[in-house]
């Protein structure tokens, strides 16, 4: 029994009681307007920092999660797998800012939700001092900066960074030795690859583009997926039918957002057994993912209420809850 997580898992068990369940999601959906929605959230402890903007409310909830996890785990690097996407987002922002010579407020994700200070990334890119960046980021930072400077091709720059981010997430999940973190890495990469393949197919991208964009993972054969994407959407469906993602085909056919929902629901279903796990880091990782899932669903509902979207169209986007 991994003794160092007994205390942490017991605290997680208590915190799980405060997670929003599907009944709360229904209550939020049935509210008449945005302010009423905020009142229901406030009743469940989502008070934010006093501001009524959805972004500050959601950001404050995310900060609460990481603060809580910080109390439980001394070495937070075990959860870097969840934060690498933010680091690479900041890298993308820094490269574009430096290469275009402009400055934009609010394009960086706050350092509390990253493994590297965004200011450090910005300085490294500005000074072309790639050694200052973590090892997994050095080569892609150099490559992406040079690509954008020489070709001005923003899409190519994005592809390079996105692929590097996915490879880092996948490898970090595998290296952790934890089943949940490895599964998260695998599913994140696989779902991103499927999305890229579908989008590339619809926009008529060639095999060279696909080989450059797709990131390796265990559950997909990239050669077959790239060949299918270069052919037709039907070829992609035929290939996926032979993989663990056969269930996703109807959702992919429906819409990109339906497929995203399917991906998130799949992760939630995979982590749900952690509710009964009394030790190990699994329940902590599952709690972080459950909170992220909760925040995503609340964001969908809040933006639906703000934009007066029909309840049914919002409801079909809301994710399955962990509890």
Partner 1 sequence: MSQLGLFFALLGAALSALLAGAGSAVGVGRAGQAAAGVVTDDPSQFSKVLLLQLLPGTQGIYGLLIAFITMTQIGIMGGDSNISLAKGLLYLAACLPMAIVGYISACYQSQASVAAIGLVAKRPDQFGKAMIFPAMVETYAILALLVSILAIFGIANVNI
Q: Which stretch binds partner 1 (CB under 8 A): 14-22, 50-58, 97-105, 241-249?
A: 14-22
Query: Do 85 and 97 contact (CB within 8 A), yes or no?
Result: no
Q: Are 169 and 85 in contact (CB under 8 A)?
A: yes
Which residues fall within 8 angstroms of residue 43, CB to CB, at 6 or more apart?
none
- The answer to whether 61 and 46 are in contact (CB under 8 A) is yes
- CB of 46: closest distance to partner 1 in angstroms? 18
Q: Counting beta carbons within 10 angstroms of the beta carbon of residue 114, is it exposed (0 to 12), middle (13 to 18) or buried (19 or more)? A: buried
In the complex, the smallest distance separating the C-beta of residue 283 from partner 1, rounded to whole angstroms, is: 9
* Binding region for partner 1 (CB under 8 A) out of 5-13, 109-117, 158-166, 181-189: 5-13
By CB under 8 A, is residue 306 in contact with partner 1? no
**What values do phi and psi take at 32, rounded to 5?**
-80, -30
103 binds partner 1 (CB under 8 A): no
CB of 285 to partner 1, least distance (A): 16
H helical segments located in 44-117: 54-72, 80-100
Side-chain half-sphere CA neighbours of 230 within 13 A: 15
CB of 6 to partner 1, least distance (A): 4
Q: Does residue 32 touch partner 1 according to CB under 8 A?
A: no
Nearer to partner 1 by Cβ, of 12 and 91: the residue is: 12
| 11 vs 62 by CB, closer to partner 1 | 11
Least separation, in Å, of the C-beta of 287 and partner 1?
13
Residue 8 or 252: the one with the smaller Cβ distance to partner 1 is 8
Q: Is 1 in the site for partner 1 (CB under 8 A)?
A: yes
Q: Could you tell me which stretch among 6-14, 98-106, 204-212, 245-253 binds partner 1 (CB under 8 A)? A: 6-14
How many residues contact partner 1, by CB under 8 A?
Answer: 15
Which residues, including other chains, have CB under 8 Å from residue 92's CB and lie 6 or more apart? 144, 157, 158, 161
Q: Are 184 and 173 in contact (CB under 8 A)?
A: yes
In whole angstroms, how far apart are CA 201 and each of 48, 193, 197, 234, 256? Answer: 42, 12, 6, 10, 13
CB of 180 to partner 1, least distance (A): 17
11 contacts partner 1 (rule: CB under 8 A): yes
Quick one: the chain helix, strand, coil %, rounded to 5? 75, 0, 25
For residue 275, the minimal CB distance to partner 1 (Å) is 9
**Whole-number Å distance between alpha carbons of 7 and 19:** 19
Q: Binding segment for partner 1 among 11-19, 41-49, 89-97, 98-106 (CB under 8 A)?
A: 11-19
Task: Please say which residue, 68 or 237, places its beta carbon nearer to partner 1.
Answer: 68
Residue 119's CB: how many other CB atoms inside 10 A? 12
CB of 17 to partner 1, least distance (A): 6
Check residue 24 for interaction with partner 1 (CB under 8 A): no
Q: Which of 155, 278, 306, 316 binds partner 1 (CB under 8 A)?
A: 278
Contact 289, 184 (CB under 8 A): yes
10 belongs to the binding site for partner 1 (CB under 8 A): yes
Site string for partner 1, 230-269 (x = CB under 8 A): ----------------------------------------
Spell out a b/e string for 233-254, using b for 16 or more CB atoms within 10 Å of the CB, else e. Answer: eebbbebbeeeebeebbebbee
What is the contact surface with partner 1 in residues (CB under 8 A)? 1, 3, 6-11, 13-17, 278-279
């Amino acid at each position: 029994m991994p003794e160092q997580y007994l205390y942490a898992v017991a605290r997680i068990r208590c915190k799980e009681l405060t997670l929003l369940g599907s009944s709360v999601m229904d209550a939020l959906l049935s509210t008449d307007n945005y302010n009423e929605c905020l009142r229901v959230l406030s009743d469940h402890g989502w008070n934010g920092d006093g501001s009524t903007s959805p972004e500050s409310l959601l950001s404050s909830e995310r900060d609460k999660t990481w603060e809580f996890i910080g109390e439980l785990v001394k070495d937070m690097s075990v959860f870097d797998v969840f934060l690498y996407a933010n680091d690479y987002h900041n890298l993308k922002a820094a490269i574009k800012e430096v290469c275009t010579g402009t400055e934009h407020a609010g394009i960086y994700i706050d350092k509390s939700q990253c493994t590297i200070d965004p200011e450090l990334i910005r300085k490294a890119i500005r000074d072309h001092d790639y050694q200052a960046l973590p090892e997994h980021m050095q080569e892609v930072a150099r490559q992406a900066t040079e690509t954008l400077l020489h070709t001005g091709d923003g899409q190519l720059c994005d592809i390079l960074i996105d692929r590097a981010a996915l490879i880092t997430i996948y490898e970090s999940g595998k290296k952790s030795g934890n089943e949940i973190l490895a599964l998260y890495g695998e599913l994140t990469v696989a779902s991103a690859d499927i999305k890229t393949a579908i989008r590339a197919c619809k926009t008529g991208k060639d095999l060279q583009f696909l080989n450059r964009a797709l990131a390796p993972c265990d559950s997909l054969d990239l050669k077959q997926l790239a060949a299918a994407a270069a052919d037709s959407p039907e070829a992609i469906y035929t290939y996926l039918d032979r993989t663990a993602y056969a269930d996703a085909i109807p959702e992919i056919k429906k819409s990109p957002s339906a497929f995203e929902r399917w991906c998130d629901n799949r992760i939630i279903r995979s982590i749900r057994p952690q509710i009964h796990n009394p030790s190990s880091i699994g329940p902590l990782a599952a709690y972080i993912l459950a909170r992220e899932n909760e925040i995503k669903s609340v964001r969908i509902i809040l933006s639906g209420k703000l934009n007066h979207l029909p309840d049914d169209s919002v409801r079909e986007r809301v994710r399955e809850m962990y509890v």
